Amino acid sequence: MKRVAYYTGCLAALSAKELNSSTKALAPRVGLELVELESVTCCGAGDIHEAEPDYYLHLNARILAYGAATGAETLMTICNVCTLNLRQANFQLLNDPELRARVNTNLATVGVPPYEDDIEVKHLLWLIVEDDGAERLRKVAHKGLKGLKIAPFYGCQILRPSKLLGFEDPDRPWSLEAIIEACGGEAIDYPAKIKCCGFPIIQAREDVAMGELIQPIEQASEAGADAMVTPCPLC
| 202 pLDDT higher than 80 | no
Measured CA to CA, the distance from residue 221 to residue 192 in angstroms comes to 12
Mean pLDDT, residues 81-99: 97
Confidence band, pLDDT 50/70/90 cuts, at residue 132: confident
DSSP characters for 168-203? S-TTS--HHHHHHHHTT-EEPP-GGGGS--SGGGTT
Please give the single-letter amino acid code of residue 203: Q
Per-residue pLDDT tens digits for 99-131? 999 999 999 999 999 998 899 999 999 999 998
According to the model, what pLDDT value does residue 86 have? 98
Element (H, E) at 74: strand 74-77
Per-residue pLDDT tens digits for 26-62? 999 999 999 999 989 999 987 787 789 999 999 999 9
Please give the single-letter amino acid code of residue 113: P
Measured CA to CA, the distance from residue 127 to residue 4 in angstroms comes to 10
Instruction: Assess contact for 157 and 201: CB atoms under 8 A.
Output: no
Helix, strand or coil, per DSSP, at residue 160:
coil
CATH class for the domain made up of 2-124: mainly alpha
According to the model, what pLDDT value does residue 16 have? 87
Share of the chain above pLDDT 70, in %: 100
Question: Domain extents for the chain?
Answer: 2-124, 144-229
